[in-house]
Chains A and B, each alone.
Chain A
Amino acid sequence: MIEFVDVGKTFQSVSGPIVALRNVNLTIGDGEIFGIIGLSGAGKSTLVRCINFLEEPTEGRVIVDGEDLGQVGPKRLRQIRRNIGMIFQSFNLLEQRNVFDNVKFPLTLGRFDRKAADARVEELLTLVGLWDRRKSYPSQLSGGQKQRVAIARALATNPKYLLCDEATSALDPVATESVLSLLRHINETLGVTIVVITHEMHVIEKICTSVAVIADSEIKEVGKVADVFSDPKTRTAKELIMPDLVRYAGKKPGEIQFRLLFNGESSDMPLISALALETGVAVNIVYADTKNVDGKVFGRMVITLPAEKAENADKVTAFFDENHIKYVIETDDEDQSADDTTIAEVADDE
């Protein structure tokens, strides 16, 4: 288990102090794939680097499996680091070593039997599907392949944790999919707890169990992915999770708006037509960002029921319940006025 207790981090720069983290309290449970999402400069990298003390917090404590990293000596810290693998956006492979030696590298840092190390490398390269490229150098690999080598290297010492700092941000969609699937596979088969840092919500959607939303150096919201994504409480979370939606899908007076969240439901059923056929209610789709992966839907959709048909809302919710579709009915909240101004601006433009 990884615990942050009142963690703060302030960098001293020539232009004065920069607060990168403020009052962070967070618990990452074993076996989770824990996502941390935020815009560039929010403090994500600083946060994840505090977990292996590549960055030392200036306030508070980071506790890994009961050990306060601020209290242990350098030698113990290096041992703990062998239990926390890390991968990076820029892969950070040893360019002058081939794939095999890159994966073997962590095993040359401690006392490891040479034969056992070679066997371990073979096992890992087979796991990431690159055994046949073992003699290649990083410059001869694609981005996705490099990241898979980096994953194999990070797992060499059998760590309990794997930290991923924007691991897929430099990859094309196909490579991203393959790396994310690999991470999920590692989590499921090896039980590795994974911390995923990203600014892309689809990454969180695809693999994470829990998510923390970070903005302006603070954790704004934490929870299960399904909960946070279907019903973000804070404005920051809304903007991060549904940027277009917050801006354009404001609801007109009297209109009833449903936010739907798909998190791997079957895509067999043509939802909106089925809704129309079964309930006789026609709805407008005002926003949709869904993806079909292996016959399962991921993403969000916003539909509205016009004011004059508002009495049909019960039929619609009944339909969703029946089909196990998660939905949230948009209610007026403290953000409503802010949303209204945005809508007004949009309207002015038209």
Chain B
Amino acid sequence: MNSTLLLSTFDKIIRDWPYVVELFQKGEIAAALGITVWMVLLSVTFSYVLGLPVGIILYVTDKTGIKPNVVVNKILGVIVNIFRSIPFIILMVAFLPVAKSLVGKSYGNAAMVVMLVIGAAPYVARMVESSLKEVDKGVIEAAQSLGANTFQIIVKVLLPEARPSLMIGAIISTVTVIGYTAMAATIGGAGLGALAITQGHLRGHQAVIWTAVVLIVLIVQLIQEGGMWLVKKTDRRVRNENKRNKAQKNK
């Protein structure tokens, strides 16, 4: 990008600014923001409702897992891999009939949430599986030696011990889903991405595009930074005492 082009972009944004203000006053920006946040929340929640059990089953039935089952593991693994290898934009058009059968429409926000879940759940499943794999095998053996059954090991050992890693996985999944929501416009959904495309791109209002971009970046930052702060704060492996001591020494 040469400097004249850059200047003209800024120029356009400044000339467009009143339109952004107008959209803001009409409440359209807040509405788009609200829809994006709501869509992300719903999609991530449902992705975990599906992906968490699948991830657990993948881990448990692995040949080194606590209840190896080659058949179940292979079948689930192949399904997950197929879904993960389809690009999201293709997956969206391919699975419109599924959305229709589930939410009655093959367009709009509800259909978009279905698409997001189909796209993200397999991703979540693998993420959960790899988080569980990080749990020390010795701790699981200790639980077995104490007479824990498979269900108790999952609920009382695996999930709590993997918590920090699961939380990091949730942060990454959420950020990925935010990226996907921007494509909602292609099937008539709303949100910040749709705003940028319909009001910004199609009507030639650069300022709207950049406003949406800034808002999305802010949401991502908030989730990333806030999430990581929470992970560190709740991970008991972090030596809080040491941290305090160091902080005192540095003073």
Residues on A close to B: CB < 8 A?
Answer: 52, 54, 74, 78-79, 81-82, 84-86, 88, 90, 92-98, 105-106, 108-110, 137-140, 150, 153-154, 156-157, 163
Knowing A92-B136, A95-B236, A110-B147 are in contact, say whether A86-B142 is a contact too (CB < 8 A). Answer: yes
CB–CB A92/B142 < 8 A: yes
In the complex, chain B residues whose CB is within 8 Å of the CB of A93 = 139, 142
CB–CB A86/B145 < 8 A: yes
Is B237 an interface residue when CB atoms closer than 8 A count as contact?
Answer: yes
Is B144 an interface residue when CB atoms closer than 8 A count as contact?
Answer: yes
CA of A109 to CA of B240, assembled, Å? 29
Interface residues in B13-49 by Cβ distance below 8 A to A read none
In the complex, chain B residues whose CB is within 8 Å of the CB of A97 = 160, 236
Least Cβ–Cβ distance between A316 and chain B, in angstroms: 50
A-B contact pairs, 18 of them (CB 8 A): A88-B142, A90-B138, A92-B138, A92-B139, A92-B142, A93-B139, A94-B139, A96-B160, A105-B156, A108-B156, A109-B147, A110-B147, A137-B237, A139-B239, A140-B241, A150-B142, A154-B145, A156-B146
A92 partner, pick from B141, B160, B239, beta carbons under 8 A:
B141
Given contacts A81-B144, A94-B139, 9 further A-B contacts (CB under 8 A): A92-B139, A92-B142, A94-B161, A97-B160, A105-B143, A109-B156, A154-B145, A154-B146, A157-B146
Q: Of all chain B residues, which has the CB nearest A110?
A: B147
CB–CB A84/B145 < 8 A: yes
A140 partner, pick from B143, B145, B239, beta carbons under 8 A:
B239
Q: Of all chain B residues, which has the CB nearest A80?
A: B147
In the complex, chain B residues whose CB is within 8 Å of the CB of A137 = 236-237
CA of A74 to CA of B150, assembled, Å? 11
In the complex, chain B residues whose CB is within 8 Å of the CB of A86 = 142, 145
CB–CB B157/A94 < 8 A: yes
In the complex, chain A residues whose CB is within 8 Å of the CB of B147 = 78-79, 81-82, 106, 109-110, 157
Is B96 an interface residue when CB atoms closer than 8 A count as contact?
Answer: no
Residues on B close to A: CB < 8 A?
Answer: 136, 138-139, 141-149, 152, 156-157, 160-161, 163-164, 235-241
Least Cβ–Cβ distance between A6 and chain B, in angstroms: 24
CB–CB A109/B136 < 8 A: no
CA of A214 to CA of B218, assembled, Å? 63
CA of A95 to CA of B136, assembled, Å? 10
CA of A108 to CA of B29, assembled, Å? 51
CA of A67 to CA of B237, assembled, Å? 40
CB–CB A82/B146 < 8 A: yes
CA of A54 to CA of B147, assembled, Å? 11
A105 partner, pick from B138, B146, B163, B237, beta carbons under 8 A:
B146
CA of A86 to CA of B144, assembled, Å? 10
CA of A84 to CA of B157, assembled, Å? 20
In the complex, chain A residues whose CB is within 8 Å of the CB of B142 = 86, 88, 92-93, 150, 153
CB–CB B161/A95 < 8 A: yes
Least Cβ–Cβ distance between A99 and chain B, in angstroms: 11
CA of A76 to CA of B109, assembled, Å? 53
Least Cβ–Cβ distance between B238 and chain A, in angstroms: 7
CB–CB A81/B146 < 8 A: yes
In the complex, chain A residues whose CB is within 8 Å of the CB of B160 = 94, 96-97
CA of A81 to CA of B239, assembled, Å? 33
In the complex, chain A residues whose CB is within 8 Å of the CB of B156 = 105, 108-109
CB–CB A96/B145 < 8 A: no
Knowing A94-B139, A139-B236, A139-B237 are in contact, say whether A54-B146 is a contact too (CB < 8 A). Answer: no
Most chain B CB within 10 A, of A82, A92, A106, A156, is at: A92
Knowing A93-B139, A96-B163, A97-B160 are in contact, say whether A106-B146 is a contact too (CB < 8 A). Answer: yes
Least Cβ–Cβ distance between B38 and chain A, in angstroms: 32
In the complex, chain A residues whose CB is within 8 Å of the CB of B143 = 105
CA of A138 to CA of B157, assembled, Å? 15
Q: Of all chain B residues, which has the CB nearest A102?
A: B142
Least Cβ–Cβ distance between B185 and chain A, in angstroms: 42
Least Cβ–Cβ distance between A110 and chain B, in angstroms: 7
Q: Of all chain A residues, which has the CB nearest B146?
A: A106
CB–CB A109/B236 < 8 A: no
Q: Of all chain B residues, which has the CB nearest A74?
A: B149
Knowing A96-B163, A108-B156 are in contact, say whether A139-B238 is a contact too (CB < 8 A). Answer: yes
In the complex, chain A residues whose CB is within 8 Å of the CB of B240 = 140
Least Cβ–Cβ distance between A285 and chain B, in angstroms: 43
